[in-house]
Structure formats: C-alpha cells, structure tokens
Amino acid sequence: MLPLRRLSGACRRRGLARFAAGAPREAADAVVVGAGAVGLAVARALAMAGREVLVVESASSFGTGTSSRNSEVIHAGIYYPPRSLKASLCVRGKEMLYKYCAERDIPHKRLSKLIVATGAAETAKLDMLLESAKGNGVDDLQVMEGSQAMEMEPELRCLKALLSPSTGIVDSHSFMLSLLADAENLGSTISYNTAVVSGHLGNEGIELHISESRELENHSVGSRVPPQIVLLPKLLINSAGLSALPLAKRLHGLDQAFVPPAYYARGCYFTLSQTKSPFSHLIYPLPEDGGIGVHVTLDLHGLVRFGPDVEWLDGGIDDMSCFLNGFDYSVNPTRCSGFYSVIRKYFPNLKDGSLEPGYSGIRPKLSGPGQGPSDFVIQGEDVHGIPGLVNLFGIESPGLTSSLAIAEYIVSSLY
C-alpha cells in the first residue's frame, strides 16, 4: 500500500523507470484506476492471470464511494433486460459471490426477497418481472398470493408477490478487504491518495498523468494540475466508478464519441428507530424511474433500512472534485416525508416519527430522468480502437453482486 512519493522508488527498484524532463516517466504492466469492489476484483483477477498490477486510488482507503454506500444486497438478476450485461453478469456474479464468501467465511446471508404488488394495476407488472427473470436464467422465483406473502411477513400488506430465494446480503467491507488481500498476496500494489488527472493515448501507447490527491484540493476550476509521475502502462482498466466518465474525457486521443454523458442520482436511506425488525426478509416494491424502489433491507445485525429514493443531481461538480469524491452525501431529514407514504403502501403500520436519517449514496448512471434504464458499458479495443484500454462506465447496481463476474469477463476478453 504505497503512497505516491514511494511509488516512483518502488517502480525503479523493479527496473521499470525511465526519466524525461519534468515528472518521472515509469513503465507499468497493468494499472487499475479505482479501488472499489469492481476495481479490486479486476486487480485480483489480473494478478491471478500473472499480470503485475498497480491499483491507483484517490481516496485514503478502498471502497469509499459507491461500493460502501449501497444496500449491500446480493441481487438475483431479476430486473434487467435479457441478454444485457447487467443480466448475465449479475446472474453469474451472484453464484461466484456466494461461493467466494462461503470459502472465505465472509459474513453474508441468503435472506430471500419479496417483490410485492400492492394495487391491482401492479399485478401485471409483477408477471412481466417474472418473465424477464426467466429470460435471464433466474428460474427459482415463486409466485405467491398476497395471503401467502403476508403469512410469511405479518406486517406486510400486498395483493401478490414474487419470492426470490437466492437474494441475500453481504458485508461489503469484508468482501473488499478479502479481494484486496488476495490481490496483494499475488503481488499487486495499491497506491492510496493518488489521482489520475489526465492521460494521453497515442502511437507510443498509454500515458497516465498522476498526482497526489492533495494537489487537487486547492485547484481552480479549469486549471491544469501538473503530474508528479507519468505512468506508461501496457494495460489500463478505468474502473473509477463515479469519476470514470470524467477521467475518460481527460484521456486525450480517445474519441469522445465513445464517452457517454454522465448522470448522477443520489439515494438516501432512513433507518427504523424501533429495535425489533418488523420483517425477516427483504421487501421490495416494483421498480421506479431511476431505481428499483424504496425497499426494506436488513443488515447482518438485523438493522432495518428503507431506501434508496432517487434524487437527480443537476451537476455543478467539476472533474477534479469528482476525482476526490467531493459529492454531497448529507441526508436531508425532510426527505423522510416522501418515504412514509411510499413505505405505507406495503407496511401500513409504520409509525410517524419512526424514521431516522441514515446515509446516502451516489449512483453513476448513463441515462437521465425519464429515460429508459441503461446497461453496463465495458469498452475494450474492439469498441474504441485503443490497445490496452478498458473503460467501465455506469457500474451502478448490480455492480457489487456482479463484481467477480465483471472481472472474469474482462480478463477473458484479454486472453
């Protein structure tokens, strides 16, 4: 786990460095930008394939962005269009994740999930979800009448439900810590507080301009941040999560036609103040615009959370602040007023004043308000024509569930 000031020396000790005027220029084999769940999974998979991997992370630790600000749900693969990457990688990733967690004693539970229809107009949508799930290879769903679902969960109110037995929860921090340990045991290096501020893609390969994160904190918008090191990797995996698109825009030589517009949606969670959980399963309403609805999740200690909602952000954050994860994660307590009416559709006994602000997360999205849901985008040379560059865009939910499968997909495409 090297800070940037030691990274140069480490590369030179391996005989990889060469110098030019200004910042040192140092060769590298494989560089992964971003130490979230997906970035760490990719680093591990590349190291298992024999690559010498450097992970560059702008934060002071791993998994501080989207990977640690979500529901920690292991998704079954129900919601996504058949033949989409989200569908195939979620279904494959679910099985890989359960196996990985079992082998390494990572805390997780197969809690099961109920997707509920609370009105007559919603029952047809539930049938459509069932057919979509079958198309994705999710063949364990069970159709339940409302009376059956409410027998399982006495506090629940619904007309009809789908039971997903393979949905569960995972301790995402323990999962990422294990991925990190695997990668490091295979010789990978991680450099925290280290930001990729720009790059150049040309005939001589890939150049990455690297700076300590603290150098970005006092920059003026639009000003150039001079690199402290220039890395020359053979392979670059842009797995920067929320800043993957801003980084791609700063890779000079990449045709910007391959960089889609970025949209960001904040999702807030509220916790239930009562100590005893009213539910023993995850409870989900039908999906909404921009998300899959304000649902009931349980953590491994039984704490009940409701969320996330969808709040589209208007922008207003520049690239450098994005690299530093400078988003506003505060939870406005007044947002809970919108939660009560939504939650009471399936949990009518929710008492006034029982919701308390929890936390929020930001989702990196490729479609905006009123647009249809977008798929994961994993771009290799076959798409953009740049040898050695793989971009990962729009890795929102089910990114955590899919992380091991995404890594497998990338590595298999390289060999």
String of DSSP letters for 108-137: EE---EEEEE-SGGGHHHHHHHHHHHHHTT
Closest residue by Cα to residue 104 from 44, 49, 174: 174
Question: Please, which residues have CB within 8 angstroms of residue 282's CB and are 6 or more apart in sequence?
Answer: 73, 111, 112, 113, 114, 167, 169, 295, 296, 297, 298
| pLDDT surpassing 80 at residue 107 | yes
pLDDT tens, position by position, 72-82: 999 999 999 99
Model confidence over 43-94: pLDDT tens digits? Answer: 999 999 999 999 999 999 999 999 999 999 999 999 999 999 999 999 999 9
- Specify the residue for token string 């340990």: 181
Q: Please choose, from the candidates 102, 156, 91, the residue with its C-alpha nearest in 3D space to the C-alpha of residue 398.
A: 91
Please state, in angstroms and rounded to a whole number, the distance separating the CA atoms of residues 247 and 236. 12
Look at residue 16 in the predicted model and tell me its pLDDT.
37
pLDDT per residue as tens digits for the range 240-252: 999 999 999 999 9
- Predicted local distance difference test score (pLDDT) of residue 15: 37
Is residue 351 within 8 A of residue 339, CB to CB? The reply is no
Residue at token pair 């000079």: 252
- Position 5 scores a pLDDT of 54
| Overall average pLDDT of the 180-200 stretch | 97
How does residue 20 score in pLDDT terms, banded at 50, 70 and 90? very low
- Residue 259, pLDDT > 90, answer yes
Task: Determine the average pLDDT of the residues in 350-364.
Answer: 95
Question: Residue 316 — pLDDT band, cuts 50, 70, 90?
Answer: low
pLDDT band of residue 293 (cuts 50, 70, 90) is confident
